[in-house]
Amino acid sequence: MKRLFSLLAVCLLGVATVLGFAPFYLYLVPVITLALLVLFWRKSSTPMQAAITGFAFGMGLFGAGVTWLYVSLHDFGHMAPALAVLALIVLCAYLSLFPALVGWIVTWRYFRSAWIWPGIVAAVWVLMEWLRGTILFAGFPWLAVGYSQVPDSLLAGYAPVVGVYGVSLLLMLGVAWLACWLAQRQQYRCWLYLASIWIIGFGLQQIHWTQPEDEPVTVSLLQGNIPQDMKWEPEHLAATMRAYARLVQASPSRLIVTPEISFPIYYDQAPRDYLEFLTEHALTQQGDVLVGMLEYSAADNGYYNSMFSFGASPEQSYRKYHLVPFGEYIPLKTIFGWVIDVLHIPLSDFSRGKPGQQPLNLAGQRVAVNICYEDVFGEEIILQLPQASLLVNVSNDAWFGRSIGPRQHLQISQMRALETGRYMLRSTNTGVTAIINERGQVLQQLEMFTTAGLHGVAQGFKGATPYVRFGNSIVLGLIGLILFAGGVVAFFGRYKTL
């Protein structure tokens, strides 16, 4: 019974960790909850016990943190409630295997007794986060703990240098030292190590890694607020296009952006007079309109989730590259083909755009476009840098309803702005539509579920942060060095305990 209560407590620690993420932004909460998790690991009698503890923590973290998936599966995918809950439990159980594996590895006897143990905890945790974000259907990096430190924590200062996984590494290193102090109160140097991480983070925040380029550009980010259950109904298409026509006409900016697939029709089926209207309005502002539409390519018989530009610049387009598994394509159709019959998701068989697409030249800016889920992958965003002067994310987070999902997505965009030293402009169907500066701060945002345009200015930037130059190679190199050092210490049997 005592063990059961212990696992329940650890699960609740995982639930509480969600408070560090948007919309709560209580970035100190994960410092405490993760330190207590590491303390549980340190007191575990066997690696298997630590693995079960890690699994319980993961079930709490992901069970509370990705509840918005139920909205997508049931409310809009029309999956039966019991099946939607089961699917969510299976996903959370899979994601929880990663913290379980961390607990199992870090409690090996040779690791646990070594002075380098806090570094091993941090390195293994972040290695598991990175693997979770890359393997199995292109990865699911949501809720990497580094996101919880954006934008107000001093640890956010590390983001332009080592990215979100580097922030996770520094956070976990700090909480491991804190756990060591909790386990052995006389180890006061743990506080010195912990303070040094935060002080260096503060110093890094004072550095401007990129520089403003030319004059700011006026921008209008449109939020059509089209209900998800009406968006794909043919009888509502005309009303949708009229709504965006009004928003475009009321936009006084050089760069106007509509959300992902704001017009749920194929580009070659769009009324020519409507596209001419968009072009003419953009010309009056000496700028461009960026519009989300579907695209069919006869050349490869492919269907694409695309963005098209109209206006003063030559017409350009961007095709989404990183697709959402089970939402935009079905992986391993021979195994998971039945999902198409269960989920009522329109156009769940998109083709991938080419990797390495270049920024679009719009309104005097070089715009790196990313569509919805793509901005979760920082290592892919930087492929358009340092050429790009602005980042633009277009999304349709109406799939998540009024859950915490859209706010978490906003926080992810804040991290991308910090990593790249660029403004991030977000145009979404129902929210959160926002202007984020190069420091990851939200300058302006629209209320969710309102029909409006967000009118403001965005400053283009040039230059490259260390993360833009080196991507995740820095943090992966650090992980490799720490684990190598840990292996050497374990091999030679120098078990001086921290």
- 11, 129, 295, 320: the catalytic one is 320
- 419 as an active site residue: the answer is no
Burial class (CB in 10 A: 0-12, 13-18, 19+), 91: middle
β-pairing verdict for 217-223 and 263-266: unpaired
- 129 as an active site residue: the answer is no
Q: What angle do CA 178, 184, 188 make, to 5 degrees?
A: 65
Q: Report which of 393, 455, 452 is spatially closest to residue 425, judged by C-alpha positions.
A: 393
- 129, 260, 295, 374: the catalytic one is 260
Cβ count near 299 (within 10 Å): 6
- 11, 92, 190, 372: the catalytic one is 372
- 320 as an active site residue: the answer is yes
**What is the Cα–Cα distance from 50 to 37, expressed in whole angstroms?**
10
Q: Does the N-terminal peptide bond of residue 151 adopt cis geometry, omega within 30 degrees of 0? A: yes
Q: What angle do CA 336, 340, 341 make, to 5 degrees?
A: 110
How many residues make up the chain in this entry?
498
Q: Any idea which residues carry the catalytic annotation?
A: 260, 320, 372
